[in-house]
């Protein structure tokens, strides 16, 4: 799929003040639609941690079909926002709070404090759920797209799907994991098949490839937060290994849509705490999709989002 056109949108850099991470930080953002209109804007939080916004750009469809203003931005340390490679060995900086504060300051910069919606994808939904649990002023609705309620829940699914690979593929992963050679070519080939089964079952669109390339340029955030261990996505450490919304999701007080696929990291029990704890929640599971329903079944995915965002 060709990259999403940004014609008619505008981008900018918002100042981000967070002394613990250094001075003169900036948040890159792109806006589709009119933020001064009466329609509630949607803020999209990308995955990772350490990915960037590009792979979500096709959500600008909501602007074209329903005039919903849609805001994309790169989380601090990622994409075109300020990168902080010098913090890779200071993981204490990389907690939810730095991302919360960046989002708060971006909302203020754009002048949308009175009312906004949030869509979080993968890690972005994990972050978005934690932000929503603080009951921020102005948040109207929340979409958790392909987001687990805990990192352990996500990793349990990852390991389960690993065991469903052909035995020869499992052997390759086991052998390289033990030898500490996870970045070998043969592991890469196996993980490409694994991703086709559980991450995106259609050819990787240009928007997604742009995010992949950008994330590979600087792995500071993912490394410092422990999202993977030496590139191995079946293992986590530090902040990410302990991350959970269990016991916190009950504090989310806005209408919430949980949307996921089949055989993906955020399927089954991985989203159960959201369903058990959030008082106003709805689950939609899209058949024939994995971790990327906005690519795999775009029209149906967007229809579900439109109906949720525009419901009275």
Structural domain includes residue 243: yes
Order of strands across the sheet that contains 70-73: 10-16, 25-32, 70-73, 42-45, 116-121, 139-145, 256-260, 281-285
Per-residue confidence (pLDDT) for residue 124, from 0 to 100: 98
User: Residue 39's domain spans which residues?
Assistant: 10-310
- Model confidence pLDDT, tens digit, residues 181-238: 999 999 999 999 999 999 999 999 999 999 999 999 999 999 999 999 888 999 999 9
Per-residue confidence (pLDDT) for residue 11, from 0 to 100: 98
**CATH classification of the domain holding 298:** 3.40.50.1820
Per-residue confidence (pLDDT) for residue 24, from 0 to 100: 87
As for how many domains the chain has, the answer is 1
pTM of the model: 0.97
Per-residue confidence (pLDDT) for residue 117, from 0 to 100: 98
Structural domain includes residue 237: yes
Per-residue confidence (pLDDT) for residue 23, from 0 to 100: 75
Per-residue confidence (pLDDT) for residue 173, from 0 to 100: 97
Per-residue confidence (pLDDT) for residue 233, from 0 to 100: 94
- Model confidence pLDDT, tens digit, residues 54-81: 999 999 999 999 999 999 999 999 999 9
Torsion of CA 197, 198, 202, 204, to 10 degrees: -120
54, β-bridge pairs: none
Structural domain includes residue 53: yes
Q: Are 56 and 46 in contact (CB under 8 A)?
A: yes
Structural domain includes residue 294: yes
Q: How many CB atoms lie within 10 A of CB 81?
A: 23
Structural domain includes residue 2: no
Structural domain includes residue 164: yes
Structural domain includes residue 3: no
Within its chain, how far is the Cα of 9 from the centroid? Answer: 22
Q: Which residues of the chain register pLDDT less than 50?
A: none
10 CB burial (10 A radius; 0-12, 13-18, 19+): exposed
Structural domain includes residue 5: no
d(CA 285, CA 297): 12
Per-residue confidence (pLDDT) for residue 199, from 0 to 100: 97
257, β-bridge pairs: 143, 282
Per-residue confidence (pLDDT) for residue 312, from 0 to 100: 79
């Amino acid at each position: 799929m060709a990259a999403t056109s940004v014609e008619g949108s505008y981008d900018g850099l918002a100042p981000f003040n967070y002394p613990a991470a250094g001075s003169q930080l900036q948040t890159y953002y792109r806006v589709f639609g009119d933020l001064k209109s009466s329609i509630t804007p949607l803020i999209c939080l990308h995955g990772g941690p350490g990915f960037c916004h590009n792979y979500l750009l096709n959500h600008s469809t909501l602007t074209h079909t329903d005039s919903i203003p849609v805001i994309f931005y790169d989380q601090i340390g990622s994409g075109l926002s300020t990168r902080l490679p010098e913090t890779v060995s200071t993981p204490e900086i990389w907690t939810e709070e730095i991302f919360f504060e960046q989002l708060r300051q971006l909302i203020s910069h754009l002048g949308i404090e009175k009312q906004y919606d949030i869509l979080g994808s993968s890690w972005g939904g994990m972050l978005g759920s934690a932000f929503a649990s603080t009951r921020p002023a102005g948040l109207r609705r929340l979409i958790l797209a392909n987001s687990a309620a805990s990192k352990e829940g996500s990793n349990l699914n990852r390991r389960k799907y690993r065991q469903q690979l052909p035995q020869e593929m499992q052997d390759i992963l086991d052998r390289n994991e033990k030898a500490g050679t996870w970045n070998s070519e043969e592991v890469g080939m196996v993980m490409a098949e694994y991703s086709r089964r559980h991450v995106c079952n259609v050819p990787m669109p240009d928007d997604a490839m742009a995010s992949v390339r950008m994330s590979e340029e600087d792995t500071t955030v993912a490394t410092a937060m422990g999202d993977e261990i030496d590139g191995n996505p079946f293992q986590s450490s530090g902040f990410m290994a302990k991350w959970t919304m269990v016991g916190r999701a009950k504090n989310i007080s806005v209408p919430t849509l949980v949307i996921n696929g089949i055989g993906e990291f955020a399927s089954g029990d991985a989203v159960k705490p959201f369903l058990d704890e959030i008082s106003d929640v709805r689950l939609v599971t899209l058949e024939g999709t994995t971790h990327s329903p906005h690519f795999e079944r775009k029209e149906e995915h967007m229809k579900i989002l439109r109906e949720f965002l525009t419901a009275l």
